[in-house]
A and B are shown apart, each in its own frame.
Chain A
């Protein structure tokens, strides 16, 4: 029963959604199914919050290494939740002045806005910006021309790195638009770094990505069919739990 019902729900919903793409009379059913899905996705936030609590509380109660960070996470979670839900520092909406909670929780100057602007934003930007430092260290220590493939990769990286900046203009901007051999052949300007960078993106990256995407699409279609037909049941967990 624990397996049959979820299998049935998956198969029916899945095939209806496939049907909506081909049969106009099913279109509305598909939209209803998507509306349910979106509702479930909203409830997933509550599930996520619950999971966060469970994991962090486990760390704190077991006094695991770094449990202090778990405590900071929980304090930050509850304080943010409180100032957002209680609309701390939010003025009532001008249309409903008698209701103190009628204002926008993101109002400029409110506690939630302050947290977002002065804590969340700089912390997120800092974490992302750290990548520049790690990449520079990796460039020095790891990007080595150890074999032919690595050498090709390095050459392409240098062309794209320079081709995406004004350095390409400085270094190769003066290449004349004149043929190297005879008339109508390759010109010197074809070797401008920005042009080479574009060739790499258009003639190598794009076909490669297309091939990968077609492969992924076929894989997704095949896996989806296996799930809908009940051949692949791995998403239901191990057999022992059934």
Chain B
């Protein structure tokens, strides 16, 4: 038995991991989530604003991390839409433009009465600009030095939402969803922190420890990984029960099923690996 385990082909492990992720995903298993204090801080930051407040939504990620971050971006979008907030979309990542399109589709398809046909008055897409933190430094001080037009080439002076916007210090909240550099940390260092712009972020699990030191003074709250997204979705559903009927509003909750099984599998593999290791040590082969 020990010999079989010692020489176990790693493809068997890959197969077990595939099944562990696929089965709960296909079955759509969900578990109840209790929003943590950090997630509730994010929820309150969006929800406590008066209806129709101005929010910058910076979506700095690409399809590689969409599995982890798209539910957050969608949840932010839905929450803002429920509050009828005005949204300024922008990105520091070239593929982020397509991620923004996903959020705009949510606005148009799920909240048509508030957003459909209201480009420029309820939401605007500023698109991508090269320059990483250089762009952040400009938009917080002089937006039109970095963005003279929106993504469609329309001059910002001709768009009602941006006509009188000198910089994003004038907005009520900055919401960033980020997969790395440039992203949440740069927004805090160059945007929110020097100018006291209320900021909430959603980031990957790997980034979470990097962002923790900024909470709560420089960062109001953080959604960390798919767990954070699921808790945020639960917090929104708790306050807006009508959203429970929308399966798209539970993307994060659905993904917690595979996460649970995968984590349990990982722990089982660690334990099994260590049992083999200690048996080998006893036999003097390790």
Give the B-binding residues of A (Cβ under 8 A).
27, 30-32, 34-35, 37-38, 41-42, 44-45, 104, 106, 116-117, 120-122, 124-125, 127-129, 132-133, 135-137, 139-146, 154, 157-158, 161-162, 164-167, 169, 198, 201-202, 205-206, 209-210, 213
Contacts and interface: CB of A to CB of B under 8 A. Distances in A.
A78 B122 CA distance: 38
Nearest to B204: A128
B144 to A, nearest CB: 10
Secondary structure of the B contact surface, majority rule? helix
Given A35-B146, A132-B17, A209-B209, A42 B266 contact: no
* 5 closest Cβ pairs, A-B complex: A38-B131, A166-B31, A121-B63, A124-B64, A165-B260
A34 B134 contact: yes
A193 B266 CA distance: 16
Contacts of B145: 31-32, 34-35
A136 B13 contact: yes
B65 A41 contact: no
A126 to B, nearest CB: 9
B264 interface: yes
Interface of B: 8, 10, 13-14, 16-18, 21, 31-33, 36, 62-67, 95, 97-98, 101, 129-132, 134-135, 137-138, 141-142, 145-146, 151-152, 208-210, 212-213, 225, 227, 256, 259-260, 262-267, 269-270, 272-274, 277
A179 B130 CA distance: 56
B67 A144 contact: no
Contact of A205 (B129, B212, B225, B270): B212
Contacts of A164: 225, 227, 259, 263
A63 B63 CA distance: 33
Contact of A206 (B146, B213, B265): B213
Nearest to B226: A164
Given A31-B138, A143-B273, A125 B66 contact: yes
Contact of B138 (A34, A158, A169): A34
B260 A198 contact: no
Secondary structure of the A contact surface, majority rule? helix
Contacts of B262: 132, 136
Contact of B14 (A124, A133, A206, A209): A133
A97 B225 CA distance: 44
A219 B277 CA distance: 41
B280 to A, nearest CB: 10
B82 to A, nearest CB: 26
B235 to A, nearest CB: 16
A142 B266 CA distance: 12
A128 B64 CA distance: 6
Contacts of B141: 27, 30-31
Nearest to B205: A164
Nearest to A35: B145
Nearest to B62: A124
B134 A198 contact: no
Contact of A140 (B31, B98, B270): B270
Contacts of A30: 137, 141
Nearest to B259: A165
Contact of B266 (A34, A116, A161, A201): A161
B209 A205 contact: yes
Contacts of B273: 139-144
Contacts of A198: 36
Given A136-B14, A213-B213, A162 B267 contact: yes
Given A125-B64, A164-B227, A166-B260, A206 B212 contact: yes
A241 to B, nearest CB: 28
A90 to B, nearest CB: 13
Contacts of A42: 130-131
Nearest to A217: B189
Contacts of A120: 63, 95
Given A136-B17, A161-B263, A166-B31, A41 B101 contact: no
**By CB atoms of chain B within 10 A, which of A30, A37, A117 has the most?**
A37
Nearest to A44: B130
Given A41-B134, A143-B270, A209 B213 contact: yes
